[in-house]
Amino acid sequence: MAPERGVAPPARPCGTMAVLFLRWVFKILNSGKEHELMNRSARLVAVFAVAAALLSATGCQMLKARDQLNKGVQAYKSANYEQAIDHFRNAVRLDPQLKVAKLYLATAYTSQYVPGVETKENIAMAEQAVEQYKAVLGDDSQNVTSLKGIAYLYMQMKRFDEAREYYKKSIAADPNDPDVYYSIGVLDWTAVYKDTADRKRKEGLQIDDEMKGKRDIKLCADIKAANENRADEGLSMLQNAMQKRQDYDDAMVYVNLIYLRKADMECSDPEVRAQDRKMSEEWSNKAMDARKRKQEAAAKKSTGGIVLDTPDTKK
């Protein structure tokens, strides 16, 4: 009879596993030479200590936890995510200190979460993933995988301030990942864009409408006061991302977008506003050039590095 879905078949008793382990070790030890007897005796002490641990209740639980972890990994690799979640849950229950099981469980929950779907069940998947990541951080506050995992989930759930907080913690733990700087830049642009759009809408303007009249001076000043620091931080983060990754075209796109929003903050200085718009256009062109280089490199790689000359039709 096949086991029920998500339920692992009975494992060998821990005592049996300990006996098998001892037999294996004795076989290895007995293959040595007689003059190594003293060394083997010392190793036997360690062997019996391991066997005692295996025979203990705690050791038995740990073995069962790792058995569940292994079964969960196999289920996850086979895309049987519900079974994987069951096994990883069991592993965490059997050994609450097994950090890798918590990370796998969080990953499995994340794989079941669909961004943008606001059902109770879907949001619960994301929240359970966050819970497991935070459990890891309870023992390892600098665990980069957990920090980035929480930041990503909060960003997808549109909990932007919390996402930004965890991305900044990720930078403190791992300052070399360009994607984290990029993500903060995106969050900064998102906040600036939303605030600017809301303020303009109240005045009967669209997001890309220029503010030139006298009546727009106060609106422009309010937008600048609320968003200038965020826009400057976003540019700084995106510059860091581009320094750490050559031809980071996605980051270039958001530099372009932030300069568009900075132009909304310079109503009283037409020259600075024009310069911001010029910078926006330049970064848009840089992004397109970077994407073109990537496409050409990919095409060249797919043809084994062979580049055919274009026939000269004038001959």
Residuewise pLDDT in 10s, the chain (315 residues): 444 444 444 445 565 555 555 455 555 555 554 444 445 555 555 555 555 554 455 678 889 999 999 999 999 999 999 999 999 999 999 999 999 999 999 999 999 999 999 999 999 999 999 999 999 999 999 999 999 999 999 999 999 999 999 999 999 999 999 999 999 999 999 999 999 999 999 999 999 988 877 778 889 999 999 999 999 999 999 999 999 999 999 999 999 999 999 999 988 888 999 999 999 999 999 999 999 999 998 888 876 655 444 444 443
- pTM listed for this prediction: 0.76
> CA-to-CA distance for 175 and 226, rounded, in angstroms?
28
* φ/ψ bin of 305: left (φ > 0), alpha (ψ from -120 to 50), beta (otherwise): left
| Burial of residue 244 (number of CB atoms within 10 Å: 0-12, 13-18, 19+) | middle
CA Rg, the chain, in Å?
Answer: 29
DSSP string, 35-83: GGHHHHHHHHHHHHHHHHHHHSHHHHHHHHHHHHHHHHHHHHHTT-HHH
Write down the pLDDT at residue 60. Answer: 87
Give the residue carrying structure tokens 């510059």.
Answer: 239
Q: Cβ contacts of residue 29 below 8 Å, gap of 6+?
A: 40, 43, 44, 47
Q: What angle, 0 to 180 degrees and rounded to 10, lies between the N-to-C axes of helices 37-55 and 57-77?
A: 80
| CB within 8 Å of 88: residues ≥ 6 apart | 68, 69, 72, 101, 104, 105, 108
